[in-house]
């Protein structure tokens, strides 16, 4: 049991259409489990767009990937797919319906944070896009997903057609770019330590151990280990 009420705050800068962000999420979750600090962790997600030029209706993924990465682009995704498998994620990029503009998704995540549902929605979006291969540019699909966190169809459509959280998302993205965040995932721990990329779980564990010492956080830890290869941004 936890003997202190100190929290480890983790600010995560990431995009929904970012496979390394999903891999990093799984790896840091494994590190939290290994160090038995789930009750002492607060995770806050911040917006980042890898490609804001994608139109709101999205574009065919394979066409987009070929234009961006060139011939043989699927071979370039092999490392990502293998890293995904190592943490239980079944990526199949060729089967993705579209490359999407994620701005609206970040607005919804920002609003969900005010309701204490951001972490739940983040997982739902990542799973829907990468695992279920859902076209997240379609309103009807967003209605289904947001219904899982208790939003009605009317609420989702009203928020989609509004500009709520637009300024907040733009300001946050500008802030992190101005402070040198050029790729994601990017992690900030207790506003003191930073890590870039989907690091192995043991790297996250080392940061947690350091902060636990500094903050006097004591837990009854179980012995678990996870040997996962490094993912770079």
pLDDT tens digits, residue range 114-150? 999 999 999 999 999 999 999 999 999 999 999 999 9
Looking at residue 215, its pLDDT comes to 84
What does the pLDDT read at residue 41?
96
In the structure, what pLDDT confidence band is assigned to residue 221 with cuts at 50, 70 and 90? very low
Specify the CATH number of the domain 8-215: 3.40.30.10
Domain locations along the chain: 8-215
Task: Express as a percent the part of the chain with pLDDT over 90.
Answer: 85
Whole-model pTM: value is 0.90
Following DSSP, what letter does each residue of the chain receive, concatenated? -------EEEEEEE-TT-HHHHHHHHHHHHHHHHHT-GGGEEEEEEE--S-TTS-TT-EEHHHHHHHHH-TTHHHHTHHHHHHHHHTT----GGG--EE---HHHHHHHHHHHHTT-HHHHHHHHHIIIIIS---TTSHHHHHHHHHTTT--HHHHHHHHTS-TTHHHHHHHHHHHHHTT--SS-EEEETTTEEEESB--HHHHHHHHHHHHHHHT--------------B--
């Amino acid at each position: 049991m936890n003997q202190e009420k100190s929290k480890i705050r983790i600010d995560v800068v990431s995009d929904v259409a970012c496979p390394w962000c999903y891999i990093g999420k799984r790896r840091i979750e494994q590190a939290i489990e290994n160090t038995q600090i789930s009750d002492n962790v607060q995770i806050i997600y911040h917006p980042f767009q890898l490609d804001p030029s994608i139109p709101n209706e999205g574009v065919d993924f394979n066409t987009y990937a070929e234009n961006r990465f060139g011939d043989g682009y699927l071979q370039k995704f092999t490392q990502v797919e293998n890293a995904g498998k190592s943490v239980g994620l079944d990526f199949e990029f060729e089967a993705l319906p579209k490359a999407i503009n994620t701005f609206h998704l970040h607005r919804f995540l920002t609003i969900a944070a005010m309701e204490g549902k951001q972490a739940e929605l983040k997982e739902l979006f990542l799973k829907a896009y990468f695992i279920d291969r859902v076209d997240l540019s379609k309103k009807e699909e967003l209605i289904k997903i947001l219904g899982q966190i208790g939003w009605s169809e009317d609420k989702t459509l009203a928020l989609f057609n509004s500009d709520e959280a637009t300024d907040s998302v733009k300001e946050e993205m500008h802030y992190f770019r101005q402070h040198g965040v050029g790729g994601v995932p990017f992690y900030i721990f207790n506003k003191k330590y930073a890590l870039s990329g989907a690091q192995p779980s043991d790297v996250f564990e080392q940061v947690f151990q350091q902060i636990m010492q500094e903050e006097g956080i004591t837990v009854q830890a179980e012995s678990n280990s996870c040997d996962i290869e490094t993912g770079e941004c």
